[in-house]
Chain A
C-alpha cells in the first residue's frame, strides 16, 4: 500500500521522507494526446498538412529536449529536423498501445541527441556541463508545454521521491549523455552502485508518476 496523505497541504520538497504524490491527469491534455495520435495516423498516410500540424504542436518538446542535451542551438535544430523526418517516415510504425505520442517522440529525440553528443564530445568535455545536468525546472516560469500527461507540480513532487544521489545519477545519464561507466567515473562510485541508483531512482519516479499502479 502507498502511504496515506495527510489532510494538511504538504510541501514535498521540504519533507525528508518521500511520499508518493497523487498525479493529476490533465483532461484537456488527454484530448491533445488523442489529437496527436490522429495526426500521426494521417502522417502515416502521407498527409503533409497533418505533419505540419503535428510539428507545430510538438516541436517545442523536441527542440527543447535536444537543446537541453546538446546545449547548442544549431545542433538542436539539426536534431529536431532529423527527428521530424523520422516521424514522417516511421509514423506508420507508431503504436499508440505501446507509447504515447510524446513518449515516442522524446525517445526518438533523446536517442538522436545522445548519439550526437557522444560522437562529438569526449566524456571529459561533457564534464564542463556537469552543473547543468539536473532534473526539474531551470527557472520558475515554464512556458506551457503541450503533450504533458500530468500537471507540472505533480512531476516536481515526484522528483522528490528520488534521493539526491539517485537524481544526480539519472540526470547525468539522461541529460549528461553519459554511459553507466562514465556516470560511475564522474561520481567516483562503483559501477554496481550507479546501476542501482539509476534503476531504483527510475522505479520510484515511475511509481510516483503512475500513482503506484505498477511495480
Chain B
C-alpha cells in the first residue's frame, strides 16, 4: 500500500501523542504543561484522556519486553524502602489548592511524596481515610480544624515545629534551620510512648515527618551515627510532649 504521510492539520490536542510516549524534550513538555494549566480543566481532561489511552496502548506493547529481574533486586529494593521510610520528606504549607490538582497528574512521575504515615515503624495504626489516601499527609494534619502548632528551639540551633491533630491522632513534625551534621552523623526522631522510644525517622537534612501519636507521647530528637540507631544513644537536643 502507499505510505500515508499525509499532513493532517495539527492541533494542540495532537500533542497528547508525543507527550504520552515521552517524545517531547523537557522544555517542550514544560511549555505544554504550562499552556494546559492556563487552558483550564476541560482541556486538561480532554488531553489527559488521550494520554492515558496511548499509555495503555504502549503498555500492551511492552508485554513483549518482560524480563525477570535478578533476585538481588528485591532485597535491594526492600533495603531502599527501609531507608526511604525513615527519611524525611519535605513539608510546607502548600499553595492554593486549585493550582495543584492537575499539576499532580502532569508531573506524577516526578512528584515528591509529602509525608509518610503508616509504615514508619510507629506501633500505632493510622486509620485509613476514606478518600483513598492510605497515609495521613502533613497537609491533612495541617488542615484539621483542631490542628495545633507549637515550636520549640533545638539545642545547637534551629527549631522543631509540631502540627498536631487529636482527631487524626497524628502529628506532622518539621525542622527548620538545624545545623548540618558531619556525614557520619544524622538526626533521629523518636516517639516515646509509655516510656519506650521508637524510631520514627532518621534525617540527614532539612526534614518533615508525619507520625501517629497518642496523647502524652513525647517526640524527641537525638544525634546518632549515620543511618540511625536502634535506640537513642545520646541525650535529646529537643523534645516535646504532645496532647
Contacts and interface: CB of A to CB of B under 8 A. Distances in A.
A173 B21 contact: yes
A139 B1 CA distance: 27
B74 A55 contact: yes
Interface string A1-36: 000000000000000111000000000000000000
B172 to A, nearest CB: 16
Contacts of A92: 132-135
Interface in B7-23: 7-8, 10, 14, 17-18, 20-23
B54 interface: yes
Nearest to A197: B5
Contacts of A41: 132, 134
Nearest to A62: B69
Interface in A38-80: 41-48, 51-52, 55-56, 59-65, 67-68, 73, 76-77, 80
A100 B84 CA distance: 26
Contacts of A142: 63-64, 66
A181 B73 CA distance: 35
A81 interface: yes
A81 B17 contact: no
Contacts of B70: 73, 77
Contact of B52 (A98, A146, A150): A98
Given A81-B80, A196-B7, A196-B8, A136 B64 contact: yes
Interface of B: 1, 3-8, 10, 14, 17-18, 20-25, 28, 48, 52-70, 73-74, 76-78, 80-81, 84, 104-105, 108-109, 111, 113, 116-119, 128, 132-135
Interface of A: 16-18, 41-48, 51-52, 55-56, 59-65, 67-68, 73, 76-77, 80-81, 84-86, 88-93, 98-100, 102-108, 110-112, 114, 118, 135-138, 142-143, 145-150, 152, 155, 159, 163, 165-166, 170, 173-174, 177-181, 183, 192-193, 195-200, 202-203, 205-206, 209-210, 214
Given A55-B77, A196-B7, 9 more contacts: A18-B1, A45-B135, A52-B78, A64-B67, A89-B84, A147-B63, A163-B4, A174-B22, A205-B61
